Structure 1
């Protein structure tokens, strides 16, 4: 059986590689991706392994590449991705790569340092230019007699503060608002630049520390300035502080230093200020030229690096992966050969041999590698070969638990059952069409969408399950056709089979708004059922829910019991493959008998009821009418309780067929016998086989003693000796076997009841989805159809948009997610519990493709 239906057959191999050829051989195996190596040095520290220096060199190269990538992204330069997959470079090529990366990093760091120094000089000159301009405005206003407070903020000085400070010294601070000359009161001043958000705290600190003996003016710099360290845009303000005396000068400078304000020289004479401003402008122009040339050089370096950085990352990561793998190997005593152990698929041994041969030829070695199969009692890993279509379904199964080695794989059957069970709950042609269209778009645009590699986690989940979404939408369209449901409306393709005959409009008016179609009269029913699915008239019927309740509930039970039966039959294939005859006779047979004789019998009763009882029955055949049709649920409950089902006298009997009561008693008795059968058969068989094994060992010891002439010596029965392995149960004590089997039996018996009831979610969610769709139609979209004229067109346009948004967000996304989760539960619990243990571990081969994908995903998450 192929690896799709059952995991691939694996074998443990021992690999001998010559030291010179080991790198090339491991590189070829990484490209192939079919070998899982084991760590033969589990007790050796990672820093004490043979190739730790090579791994460190790769880490250093990867760090340099990340630095280059960061700088490329900072400048917004697109990185060329040709989709190529370069081979892993040879060890001698590592030196060239290291030299290239070292040169690029040093050149880029030098350019960045020079650019930062130039930007810092440019910032200082720009701030000095602003100081000269703002202070010139202040002095010009003073010379012109203007009030200085009209253009610049006068801080920290109020009338009451002036009055309080006027007695502190010879300096008279009670100056008038007009004709005030700060140079006359404060002959000393400093000018600088400070961050705008620090101005209020700066003013308060100056006032408190200098006791009001300063005069501060500040003006905002309109354009933001670039911080050379972080490249952020910051807003600053120019300030000038007037004071008197060296003591205040020292105090003011310390406060400026504490607030990280930058002080600049500002000449007192206007001519000197103008001369300095002209010099500053000249230097700024020169700096602009040099900065442009520096940025052009940096851009050229980064553009050249961007063309190859993707391939460089691939090469470095492949080299690093190879040396990580070589660290798992052992050296032989001659130090010339590397020994490895690995799990490989048996069917791919020839491909692995060819890859090893190619690696040997690439390395130029004359000694071919040796690959030997080994015997082991260790459980092999589980390997299911998948493609882009089956991988999504396999992921759903593995999320519950990886299959045990060579256990039946539920994934291929899930490809059909999963979208079908989903569609039973999500049956609507319109909603299914929306979902199928979205899935088909992702499938058709698969390559360009995969190349974008979005960082959105929700989108990646949708894209990974694109084939599941496509199938769920298509199956939903099919079940929507069966339900005849399109956005809560019906399709009248073949014409309704119901007819209202002999009634005029006046008759309908007198009857009222509701008219119940009577199935017992031939004039209401044409006699031919609707060809596919439900008759469209049911969407208009007031008793639609009553009819669909019975129909969908019975369908859910039928589908659920068939699904569970299929799971039990799958366990038979597991028992046959592992040659577990005990499992067949002690587990499978009583399980299938219990499920068929009780629950599948209930399904048969449903079909008998559908085929035997009709609504349009003549009076002479009254016993086959709907009134005499017994309830399947009541019949089943009375069967379990061994009670008689009540019936009306006119119906003559509650049985659907002759001898039903006796058949039910027989089936019930057989089902009850299956319970102790499941509980005791397997433990008793194991106990008996262990006794026989112990007796056989004692008998062999007696014969051996007799042949050696030691028959007269007493023979001691070594009861502590482990019995011969049989079915893998020798590791458990008998108590554990009985307890385990008891739990398994109780779980199966009670689970058969609870799992059958669990499938009623198919019925419940189907009805809920249909009713929610109908409510959305009646309460939203129908409102736009009640308005006439051009106003109605506008209203319908707006209301249709609202209805579309609610339909997609609630009915497609939320209801779809709900149905998806319920379907997942039905497969994980109700279906897979019958045959699937899921106690294995997945096959994780050494594959460059997997390693590169994991590295890309990790980088996107960061």
Structure 2
């Protein structure tokens, strides 16, 4: 943890003209751009054009000078509402264009924001298009509804003719057909009661209604008729084979024709109410066949006329939409730019004369000239004779953090900002992360084959980035991959490099240069089983190592895992200590830039001593062990042979516990070099001294400086009192000392209580001391994930692909085809995707916690400039999500 930084007027004093000034001019590549707060005065007639030019430039972040004013009470709220209304009309046009499947022309142009007077023309154009389109849609809907009614009537006339023809062919009887209900056959009754039969058996005339209903409602409709009419109706229905278009929604629906026979007006009223409840459409159907034929002919004629009118209506609608589709993209851009300009103008203040707009904005210092040019262009466009005024202001407020990025560095900067945006002008880890992130990932993912697949995918996205970016996919997962295409490419390339070092390609080794190990008389040794290759024997070892990476002979060794674990474990610790030391060194550049000498003396120096004297010394022991204890040295007394090589872990633990390391008497000593025990005691004592150094130095110095400052204030007050009493003639040269510098303490802000300073420093010291141990152990994940990746790759090879390679004959080709497909699928899905994601997350943690905690504050806030490009991109993304 580090003390929060405040940014205002930095004290100079001893730092002026020193080496600290060299770091103040460090470019924005390594720290955020220098920002300044400016006050902008614009004439009312030139404000719109000037803000438009600043939006195209995208380098100005405006502050809201009316935070207490309601959004509906600001000056340009009416213009914003007009823009909202134009956007609504454009969205309606866009919806209709998409409904017809008409492609919208996207030329990639970026039209300038229209002048305020052009808003009226745009509004008139959109109003005309919307009214015309709505009128056409209403007419088309009415025509489609009429067409649907005629089509349903045509189907009714056709189907009912079949019903009546069947009724005429049926024998005449004294009772009418009954409505059949399979579940209640015993309750069926006739439409004519017994009294009707006694009256002479003459059939009474039945009434009927015909109509159309949705097919899925037929079962419920039939049950309701049965129960409500007590079986005294007769229902016939037939399905309409072709679907009909619903004029309201445009959906295709399936319907059925029905005809219901009944007796009496009471049943007729009841049947019509049931039809109305089920939203069935009733149509007139003549009783006479001649009338039905005549009506059918008239319906067919009207349908043909309607088809002609509908076609003309659709052609006119299509022409309107095609014309709108050519310009709708540009219209959206223009309207959104106008809306953004007026929304920004609502952040400004009006002076008392109501003729000048006043704004405050954060701008990068290096871009002040470009901003002045943009304001000049806006003034010329508006025709104003009064130039805008841009004044720099002094402030104690923290400026926003602005890091210049491009398409390559943007992904890495996003990784850093996801943890926390850097405080203003502190060191930016992103440039170093470009190398360290893919390298540490590759240490865990090291495999030449898997790295090649990952690099191939990344290279494809990089080479095809323009067409892929133009598609503007709304798939969130794909956008994450595409946004990190350069990270994926570098991770793949670095994984190929570490795969060469590990000599690991899909769980196998490459023998490019020839192994340095040999086995003579192989037939004899194969009969004896295991055989140990001794580097001291010249017939087994040529005396020089494999040119690059591990010797391929280790692929066959039974102690392969033991050797690789030892190598990868030591490499992980070495890389981790160097990475953390680099992070502590970065804190020095922060202290130098902010001219905080006290933090250098009270934090940086003891931190470096503690880390170097304990953990970097452990790294040196590893190299000394590699240099001193050779496996191919002939040593009969075992003085420097591998059997006498001490354990680094045991040596380090005994150093901390101040114990002697046990050793074999044949080895002579457990030390790697003379004076090792004395050196270790000295290093450990120095490291222990650094703990109270970090804990008390800074609070004591701050407390002492505060006392001196308070004493100076008292002396100054006494001198003023003496002057007022006429004692000014007394010599006051002893009281003219300047107040002591606070060493980066207050900077114009309220003083922090000493109790909080002590607590803060105690937490910071405990975190660093314990973190040095835990973070060093955390880097062992480099070894652990590398081991897991290689073992899982080997399991897939032995359990899947090797099975297909062992089958002989023609069947072997078929089996190999299947096993290779399965092995390839598992390799890509598990080893490349899942293992790659796991290694990515572990690498992210090593950078966020182990590395950045040594120097990175991350309490800043991002620079959010008024930029048309950002506004249009966010608008298109939100539209795609909807």
- Alignment partners' CA distance in 2, 1:337 and 1:650: 93
Q: 3-state SS of the aligned residue for 1:242?
A: strand
Q: Would you say 1:240 and 2:256 are equivalent positions? A: no
Match for 1:64 among 89, 98, 106?
A: 89
1:164 to partner: Cα distance: 5.4
Q: Gaps spanning 5+ residues in structure 2: where? A: 1-25, 729-738
5 Å-filtered alignment, 1:33-72, equals 33-72=58-97
Partner of 2:189: 165
Partner of 1:213: 232
- Alignment partners' CA distance in 1, 2:764 and 2:533: 51
Q: Would you say 1:779 and 2:779 are equivalent positions? A: no
- Alignment partners' CA distance in 1, 2:205 and 2:545: 107
Partner of 2:314: 295
- Alignment partners' CA distance in 2, 1:163 and 1:591: 99
Q: Would you say 1:815 and 2:835 are equivalent positions? A: yes
- Alignment partners' CA distance in 2, 1:103 and 1:518: 92
Distance change >3 Å, CA 318–CA 711, structure 1 → 2? same
Which stretch shifts more, 601-610 or 267-276?
Answer: 267-276
- Alignment partners' CA distance in 2, 1:607 and 1:185: 116
Partner of 2:19: none
What's the CA shift string for 1:524-549, capped at 9, x where partnerless?
Answer: 21111000000011112221111100
- Alignment partners' CA distance in 2, 1:518 and 1:309: 79
Q: Gaps spanning 5+ residues in structure 1: where? A: 174-180, 713-721
Match for 2:709 among 684, 688, 693?
A: 693
1:695 to partner: Cα distance: 0.3
Distance change >3 Å, CA 623–CA 115, structure 1 → 2? same
Q: Would you say 1:797 and 2:817 are equivalent positions? A: yes
Which stretch shifts more, 420-429 or 797-806?
Answer: 797-806
- Alignment partners' CA distance in 2, 1:102 and 1:470: 50
1:276 to partner: Cα distance: 1.0
- Alignment partners' CA distance in 2, 1:807 and 1:160: 65
Q: Would you say 1:589 and 2:601 are equivalent positions? A: no
Which stretch shifts more, 667-676 or 281-290?
Answer: 281-290
CA contact 1:154–1:217 (8 Å) conserved in 2: no
5 Å-filtered alignment, 1:72-91, equals 72-91=97-116
Partner of 1:478: 497
Q: 3-state SS of the aligned residue for 2:38?
A: strand
Q: Would you say 1:31 and 2:51 are equivalent positions? A: no
What's the CA shift string for 1:512-535, capped at 9, x where partnerless?
Answer: 2x3332334332211110000000
What's the CA shift string for 1:145-177, capped at 9, x where partnerless?
Answer: 4999xxxx985435954655359945889xxxx
CA contact 1:122–1:284 (8 Å) conserved in 2: yes
5 Å-filtered alignment, 1:572-587, equals 572-587=588-603
Partner of 2:526: 508
Partner of 1:718: none
CA contact 1:38–1:341 (8 Å) conserved in 2: yes
Match for 2:745 among 728, 738, 751?
A: 728
Q: 3-state SS of the aligned residue for 2:359?
A: strand
Match for 1:680 among 685, 693, 696?
A: 696
Partner of 2:734: none
1:506 to partner: Cα distance: 3.8
Distance change >3 Å, CA 561–CA 185, structure 1 → 2? farther
CA contact 2:235–2:258 (8 Å) conserved in 1: yes
Distance change >3 Å, CA 169–CA 569, structure 1 → 2? same
5 Å-filtered alignment, 1:338-357, equals 338-357=357-376
Q: 3-state SS of the aligned residue for 1:620?
A: coil
CA contact 1:205–1:255 (8 Å) conserved in 2: yes
- Alignment partners' CA distance in 1, 2:103 and 2:342: 31
Q: Would you say 1:768 and 2:802 are equivalent positions? A: no
Q: 3-state SS of the aligned residue for 2:466?
A: helix
Partner of 2:333: 314
CA contact 1:15–1:341 (8 Å) conserved in 2: yes
Q: 3-state SS of the aligned residue for 2:636?
A: helix
CA contact 1:21–1:364 (8 Å) conserved in 2: yes
Partner of 2:401: 382
Normalising to structure 1: TM-score of the pair? Answer: 0.95
Distance change >3 Å, CA 291–CA 483, structure 1 → 2? same
1:789 to partner: Cα distance: 2.1
Match for 2:627 among 611, 616, 628?
A: 611
Which stretch shifts more, 786-795 or 326-335?
Answer: 786-795
Distance change >3 Å, CA 69–CA 723, structure 1 → 2? farther
1:797 to partner: Cα distance: 1.4
- Alignment partners' CA distance in 1, 2:236 and 2:673: 107
Distance change >3 Å, CA 710–CA 679, structure 1 → 2? farther
Match for 2:666 among 650, 658, 662?
A: 650
Q: Would you say 1:558 and 2:577 are equivalent positions? A: no
Q: Would you say 1:517 and 2:541 are equivalent positions? A: no
CA contact 1:382–1:403 (8 Å) conserved in 2: yes
- Alignment partners' CA distance in 2, 1:216 and 1:170: 22
Partner of 1:203: 222
- Alignment partners' CA distance in 1, 2:413 and 2:172: 82
Partner of 1:434: 453
- Alignment partners' CA distance in 1, 2:815 and 2:183: 66
Normalising to structure 2: TM-score of the pair? Answer: 0.93
Q: Would you say 1:418 and 2:437 are equivalent positions? A: yes
Partner of 1:122: 147
Q: CA RMSD in A?
A: 2.0
Q: Would you say 1:272 and 2:272 are equivalent positions? A: no
Partner of 2:16: none
What's the CA shift string for 1:812-833, capped at 9, x where partnerless?
Answer: 1100000000000000000000
Distance change >3 Å, CA 107–CA 611, structure 1 → 2? same
- Alignment partners' CA distance in 1, 2:745 and 2:462: 46
Q: Would you say 1:703 and 2:703 are equivalent positions? A: no
Task: Give the count of matched residue pairs.
Answer: 839
What's the CA shift string for 1:828-848, capped at 9, x where partnerless?
Answer: 000000000100000000000
Q: Would you say 1:17 and 2:33 are equivalent positions? A: no
Which stretch shifts more, 66-75 or 269-278?
Answer: 269-278
CA contact 2:210–2:257 (8 Å) conserved in 1: yes
Partner of 2:512: 493
Partner of 2:22: none
CA contact 2:60–2:866 (8 Å) conserved in 1: yes
CA contact 1:161–1:212 (8 Å) conserved in 2: no
